[in-house]
Amino acid sequence: MKINIGINEEQRKAIAGGLSVLLADTYTLYLKTHNYHWNVTGPMFQTLHTLFETQYNELALAVDDIAERIRALGEFAPGSYKEYAKLTSIKEADGIPSAEEMIKDLVKGQEAIAKTARSIVPVADEASDEVTLDLLTQRMTVHEKTAWMLRSLVA
């Protein structure tokens, strides 16, 4: 059926395209955070192991919200490593970094996602897509706060 939600097809495609990048960034950071949860070592092991688990669980919920918004806009959500690798701005880590390097790397990832979300705001705003704007505001809030908390660990 034709979608008639007050956002034209061109705008829906543009918003969904931006959200696809956000989804790829979020899933890539989810995978990286989960990896760090499994492989962190050192004197802050228990603290970081638990913190990273909280963070990857939050990211796992976020990918579903983002993908479902893409679908509500009438587009298919990317869902493979191949597609994510093409879309994401987040770089993979080489090897297993130290705990401090893990934290710094996750800060970069959190900040990257906040920037990706922020880059979609003008497109969604132009289309008066308040639903996507709300989702983006929620994502920016989470990622900016998480980046701040992680930065505080290595201050």
Q: Tens of pLDDT along the chain (155 residues)?
A: 899 899 999 999 999 999 999 999 999 999 999 999 999 999 999 999 999 999 999 999 999 999 999 999 999 999 999 999 999 999 989 899 999 999 999 999 999 999 999 999 999 999 999 999 999 999 999 999 999 999 999 97
With 0-12 CB in 10 A as exposed, 13-18 as middle and 19+ as buried, what is 137? Answer: middle
With 0-12 CB in 10 A as exposed, 13-18 as middle and 19+ as buried, what is 52? Answer: buried
Six-digit token string for 128: 């008066």
Q: At what angle do helices 45-72 and 9-39 cross, to 10 degrees?
A: 160
Contact 30, 60 (CB under 8 A): yes
The Cα 53–Cα 76 span in angstroms is 29
Domains and CATH numbers, the chain: 9-152 (1.20.1260.10)
Six-digit token string for 31: 């995978």
